[in-house]
Amino acid sequence: MTARSIGADAAPYGRAVVPSVWSRLWSANGPGYLFLLPWFIGFFGLTVGPIVTSFYLSFTNFDLLTPAEWVGFDNYARMFTADPKFAQSMRVTLLFVVFSVPLKLAFALSIALLLNRGMRGLPIYRAIFYLPSLLGASVAIAVLWRQLFAGDGVVNDFLAIFGIQGPSWISNPRTSLWTLIALAVWQFGSPMIIFLAGLRQIPVDLYEAASLDGASKWRIFWKVTLPLLTPVVFFNAIIQTIEGFKSFTPAFIISGGTGNPVNSTLFYTLYLYQEAFAFFRMGYASALAWVLLAIVAIFTGVSFLTSRYWVHYDD
C-alpha cells in the first residue's frame, strides 16, 4: 500500500513493443481519451461555454434584460472595498463550513461504524438515518424547523424539563445560524452511505489477519479500517467542504430567501442569488461566484497536496 496521487507513475496499458511513434502515442493515450470521450463532449459542449461566459460577465454590468456592459475590475474592487454584505456573507459561510462539515462527517462516520457492526435491524436503522436526507430542499423543512426551534418550539419544551428557558433559536440573530448547522448535520445520510460503501469494500481477510495477530478492536480500527477508508474520508471531506461553501437551500428555505434575522444566515450563495435574480446584478453575482471558486479551489488544491501523506490508495 503506497500513497500515490493521480498521475503518478503507474504503468500504462498497451502492447509491450510498439513499432511507430503514432502507434506508440496511440497506445499510451488512446484508450484513456476514448474512455473520456463522453466527458469531453459534455465538457466542451455543455460546460465550458457557460463557465467562460460567466467569467466574462464577472467583468461587466449585466442586468439580465439588456446586453452586458464592460466595467473591468469594478465588480471585484467593490467586493473587497465597499460591500459590507460580501464580508458578512463570507463570515457566515466560513462559520457554517467550519462547524457543519466536521460535525456532519463525525456523525456520518460514527453511525456508519455502528451500523457496520452487522447488528439486528440494520436495514431499518440505515433507512431511518437516511430519511431526513431524502427530504432534500422540500418546502416542508421551513415549517418543520420553525416548529422545532421557535421560542415555544419542541426544543425549548424539552429544555424546560431541566428548567432551562431557551431563546427562539431560529429567529435570534445570535443562534439562528446554529439551527442551519443543525439542519446540515441532520441530513448526514449521504456521507454515511458513502462511508458504509467504503467499509464494505475493505477486504475481510485483512481483518482476519489482524485478529489472528491478536490486535484489539481499537487497534484494528486505527491500523486497518481507517487507513483503508482514507480515500473515502478524503472524498467526503472534499465534497462536503465544497458543498458547504456552496450551501444555498437551507438558508433559502428557512429565511425565506432573505438571510435574516439581521443577515445572520446570509450564506454566500444566497447573497449571490439575491444579487443575480432579485436585484438584477448578474455581473456582480458572477464576480462573487468566481471569488468563491478561487477560495474553494485553493482549499481543494491544498487538500490534494496534503493527501499524499495521509490518503492510502491501493493502486
Partner 1 sequence: MTTEAPRLTIVTGQVTAGRVARRRVISVVAHVLLIGASILMLYPLLWMLSASFRPEAEIFSSNSLIPSSVSLHGYSSGWFGLSRSFDVFFLNSFIVSILCVIGNLAACSLTAFAFARLEFWGRRFWFALMLGTLMLPYQVVLIPQYVLFLKLGWVNSFLPLVVPKYLAVDAFFIFLMVQFFRGIPRELDEAAMMDGCSPWRIYFKIMLPLSLPVMTTAGIFTFIFTWDDFFAPLIYLNDLKTYTVTLALRTFVDSTAESNWSGLFAMSILSLLPIFVLFLFFQRLLIEGIATTGMKR
Partner 2 sequence: MSFSLDRRQFLLGSTALVAAGAVSPAFAQDKRLRLTWWGGQARADRTNAVSDLYAKAHPGVAFDTEFNAFNDYWPKLGTQVAGGNAPDVLQMDYRYLVEYANRGAIAALDDYVGKGLKLDDFDQDQQDGGKVDGKLYAISLGANSVSIMVNQKAFADAGVAEPNRDWSYDDYKANAAAFNAKSNGVRLMADGSGNEPALENWLRQRGKALYKDGKIGWDADDLTAWFKMWVDLRAAQVCVSPEDQALDASAAIDTTMITIGKAATTYANSNQLIAFQAVNKSPLTMVNFPRAGAGTGGGHYRKPSQFWSVNPKSALIEDAVSYVSFFVNDIEAGLALGVERGIPCSAAVRAALSPTLSAPDQLSLNFVSNLGDLLGKLPPVPPAHAGEVSQQLNTKAQEVAFGSTTPEDAGPAFAKEAADILARAS
182 is a site residue for partner 1 (CB under 8 A): no
Residues between 116 and 145 that touch partner 2 (CB under 8 A):
143
**Among the residues of 116-139, which ranges form H helices?**
122-134
146 is a site residue for partner 2 (CB under 8 A): yes
Stretch touching partner 1 by CB under 8 A, among 74-82, 89-97, 143-151, 163-171:
143-151
47 is a site residue for partner 1 (CB under 8 A): yes
Give the separation between CA 277 and CA 146, rounded to whole angstroms.
26
DSSP 207-255: HHHHHHTT--HHHHIIIIIHHHHHHHHHHHHHHHHHHHHT--HHHHHHT
* Cβ neighbours of residue 300 closer than 8 Å, sequence gap 6 or more: 238, 241, 242
31 is a site residue for partner 2 (CB under 8 A): no
170 is a site residue for partner 2 (CB under 8 A): yes
125 is a site residue for partner 1 (CB under 8 A): yes
314 is a site residue for partner 1 (CB under 8 A): yes
Q: Between the CA of residue 87 and those of 173, 175, 234, 289, what are the distances in Å?
A: 17, 19, 29, 14
DSSP 13: P
Q: How far is the CB of 161 from partner 1 (least distance, A)?
A: 14
> Which three-class secondary structure state does DSSP give residue 16?
coil
Give the separation between CA 67 and CA 53, rounded to whole angstroms.
13
Q: How far is the CB of 142 from partner 2 (least distance, A)?
A: 8
Q: Are 190 and 133 in contact (CB under 8 A)?
A: yes
Q: What is the x/- site pattern for partner 1, positions 232-251, by CB under 8 A?
A: x-xx--xx--x--xx-x---
Stretch touching partner 1 by CB under 8 A, among 77-85, 96-104, 148-156, 161-169:
148-156
Give the one entry of partner 1, partner 2, none that residue 186 binds, where binding means its C-beta sits below a cut-off of 5 to 8 angstroms depending on kind: partner 1
Stretch touching partner 1 by CB under 8 A, among 82-90, 93-101, 164-172, 190-198:
190-198
158 is a site residue for partner 2 (CB under 8 A): no
